[in-house]
Structure 1
Amino acid sequence: MQFDTWLLFAGAAIALAMAPGPNNLLAMFNGARFGVSSAAIGGIGRIVAFALMIAITATGLGVILAASETAFFVIKWVGAVYLVWLGVKSWLAKVNDTDETDGQMALMTNPGALNLARTEFITAIGNPKAILIFTAFFPQFLDPAVAYGPQFAVMGTTFIAMETTVLLAYGLIGGQVKGLIRSATHMRMLNRVSGTLLVGAGVLLAFTDRTRSTA
């Protein structure tokens, strides 16, 4: 891959990664609830999911999945239902009543690294727009005169690096919000904002069709 082509790809990849989708919302709200380190650990699930999708695209299966109405329908509705469930769960999340002197870490119990990563993984893998982006986006930068494998490896590594950078940035934003949460009331407000946005993302995903799945 030529360096100028790589630069164009990297710029487009960071722009795609920065879009405020469900996974970025999760990173931000995980950072606000549990801290930047928890947001980063949870983001591992997203990275694994995207790496898997890139591998599927590289093998050609991504084209088949992207062209399949049935596969798109199933993945879309599983993802939409999961996002709505996450939103409702956020609304109903237990918050420990405490005063400001007790410290915000006592307001909610951290579900643990595995649960955070699993949630991000399922959220990413349940979004059919991701596989459509990979199948439509990556080929635009392929040089037909050069072996596809090394090019996909470079692009895949670059995309994952950009995605990791962005998830850390969203986690840091959440971490800044975390410093403002001083009471159970503040945490409940955060949970309800998070829940509303996730339910909204689920509804939007449910009404997404393949022709509009570009972001």
Structure 2
Amino acid sequence: MEFNTWLTFLAAAVAISLSPGPGAIAAMGAGLNHGFRRGQVIAFGLLMGVWTQTLVVGFGLGMLLTTSELAFSVVKWVGALYLVWLGVQQWRAPARPLVTEAPAEAAPDAHLARTLFLRGWTVNALNPKGTVFLIAVLPQFVDASRPLLAQYATIGATFGVVEMVVMSGYVALAARVLGLLRQPRQILWMNRTFGSLFVAAGALLATFKRAA
């Protein structure tokens, strides 16, 4: 991949990652509820979700979603319902303030880490809109006359690093800024706000149509 081509893809990856979406909502929700150190695990899950999408497209399996109405609909509705479920869980989350300074909270416990990781992976991996987008965008940055494996590895590494940095920033933003909220009523409304955003993201995903 030419350096100028890589720079263009880097700019596109930054724009894609920064744009508000289910990943950003999930990252901020984790930061709000668990603080930065505990909530940061979700960024690794989101990263793996991006790599899953890249592998799917890289191996050509993503074409199934653009050619099969049934496969596309199944993935779309599973992803949409999952986001709505996350919204309901966030809405019902207890209104307790963050505790991020205590030594015991320095590292997430295994169960929480596993839950956040799987949540992050699922949010990004079960997003057919992301797969269709990659199918539309990646060919513009791939030179078919050169080895494809190295190019996809470069694209995956670049996209992954950008996603990790941006999502970690969202986690930190929620933990540092929203973490200043201490009153139960404030936290309750923040949980309901993020819950509503999850439901809205699920509803928008449900309206996404397969390209003709």
Answer yes or no: same fold by TM over 0.5: yes
In the TM superposition, residue 126 of structure 1 has moved relative to its aligned partner by 1.8
Q: Which residue in 2 is equivalent to 1:105? A: 99
The 2-side partners of 1:179 and 1:112 are apart by 19
Q: Which residue in 1 is equivalent to 2:87? A: 87
Q: Percent identity?
A: 36
Q: Which residue in 2 is equivalent to 1:196? A: 196
The 2-side partners of 1:126 and 1:62 are apart by 12
* Equivalent position amino acid for 1:58 in 2: G
Q: Which residue in 2 is equivalent to 1:147? A: 147
The 2-side partners of 1:51 and 1:136 are apart by 17
- Cα RMSD for the two superposed structures: 2.0
Contact 2:66 / 2:132 at 8 angstroms: preserved in 1? Answer: yes
Q: Which residue in 1 is equivalent to 2:167? A: 167
Q: SS in structure 2 opposite 1:105?
A: coil
The 1-side partners of 2:139 and 2:120 are apart by 26
**Residues 40-69 of structure 1 deviation map (CA, whole Å, 9 limit, x = unaligned):** 211211111221221121111122333221
**Residues 141-186 of structure 1 deviation map (CA, whole Å, 9 limit, x = unaligned):** 1112211111111111101111111101111211222332112112
Give the TM-score, by structure 1 length: 0.88
* Equivalent position amino acid for 1:105 in 2: V
Q: Which residue in 2 is equivalent to 1:100? A: none
Q: Which residue in 2 is equivalent to 1:131? A: 131
Q: Could you list the runs of 5+ residues in structure 2 that have no partner in the other structure?
A: none
Structure 1's consecutive aligned runs of 4 or more residues displaced over 4 angstroms after TM superposition are none
The 1-side partners of 2:126 and 2:144 are apart by 31
Q: Could you list the runs of 5+ residues in structure 1 that have no partner in the other structure?
A: 97-102
Q: How does 1:70-85 map to 2 (within 5 A)?
A: 70-85=70-85
Contact 1:104 / 1:183 at 8 angstroms: preserved in 2? Answer: no
Give the TM-score, by structure 2 length: 0.89
